[in-house]
Amino acid sequence: MPKKIFFTPGPSALYFTVEEHLKAALKEQVMEINHRSAQAEAYYRQTEENLKALMNIPADYRVLFLSSATEIWERQLQNFVTQKSFHYCYGAFSNRFYDFATDWKLSPEKAEAPFGQLPDTNPDLIPSDTELITMALNETSTGVAFPTESIYTIRQKHKEALIAVDGVSALPVTDLNFSMVDSVYFSVQKCFGLPAGLGVWIVSPRAIEAAKSKLQSGQSIGSYMALPNLVKNAEKGQTTYTANVLGIYLLGRVAGDMLEKGIDTIRHEARYKSALLYHTLEQHPELTPFVSEKHLRSQTVAVANTSGSSSVIIDALKAKGLVIGNGYGQYKGKQIRIASFPTHSKEQIELLADLINQL
**Contact yes or no for 278/41 (Cβ under 8 A):** no
Task: Name the minimum Å distance from CB 358 to its own copies.
Answer: 24
Cβ proximity to its own copies: between 241 and 272 the closer is: 241
Site map (CB under 8 A) of its own copies, residues 8-37, x = contact: x-xxxxx---xx--x---xx-xxxxxxx--
**Contact yes or no for 89/111 (Cβ under 8 A):** yes
Query: Is the backbone peptide bond immediately before 108 cis, with ω within 30 degrees of 0?
Result: no
Question: According to the binding rule CB under 8 A, does residue 155 interact with its own copies?
Answer: no
**How far apart, in Å, are the Cα atoms of 83 and each of 102, 131, 206, 214?**
10, 8, 18, 11
Q: Pick one of 47, 141, 187, 233: the residue that binds its own copies (CB under 8 A).
A: 187
Question: According to the binding rule CB under 8 A, does residue 241 interact with its own copies?
Answer: yes
Question: According to the binding rule CB under 8 A, does residue 96 interact with its own copies?
Answer: yes
Question: According to the binding rule CB under 8 A, does residue 223 interact with its own copies?
Answer: yes
Cβ proximity to its own copies: between 3 and 295 the closer is: 3
Task: Name the minimum Å distance from CB 339 to its own copies.
Answer: 11
Question: According to the binding rule CB under 8 A, does residue 103 interact with its own copies?
Answer: yes
Question: According to the binding rule CB under 8 A, does residue 91 interact with its own copies?
Answer: no
CA–CA separation, 211 vs 218, rounded Å?
11
Question: According to the binding rule CB under 8 A, does residue 45 interact with its own copies?
Answer: no
Task: Name the minimum Å distance from CB 230 to its own copies.
Answer: 12
Q: Pick one of 41, 49, 99, 112: the residue that binds its own copies (CB under 8 A).
A: 99
3-state secondary structure 298-330: CCCEEEEEECCCHHHHHHHHHHCCEECEECCHH
Question: According to the binding rule CB under 8 A, does residue 300 interact with its own copies?
Answer: no
Q: Pick one of 52, 150, 152, 196: the residue that binds its own copies (CB under 8 A).
A: 196
Chain CA centroid to CA 347, Å: 24
Task: Name the minimum Å distance from CB 20 to its own copies.
Answer: 11
Q: Is 294 exposed, middle or buried (0-12, 13-18, 19+ CB in 10 A)?
A: exposed
Question: According to the binding rule CB under 8 A, does residue 217 interact with its own copies?
Answer: no
CA–CA separation, 164 vs 302, rounded Å?
24
CA–CA separation, 239 vs 63, rounded Å?
11
Task: Name the minimum Å distance from CB 296 to its own copies.
Answer: 25
Q: Is 165 exposed, middle or buried (0-12, 13-18, 19+ CB in 10 A)?
A: buried
Cβ proximity to its own copies: between 27 and 294 the closer is: 27
Question: According to the binding rule CB under 8 A, does residue 336 interact with its own copies?
Answer: no
The CB-side HSE value for 157 (13 A sphere, CA atoms) comes to 17
- Which residues in this chain contact its own copies in the complex, by CB under 8 A? 3-4, 6, 8, 10-14, 18-19, 22, 26-27, 29-35, 66-71, 73-74, 96, 99-100, 103-105, 187, 189, 194-198, 220, 222-226, 240-247, 325
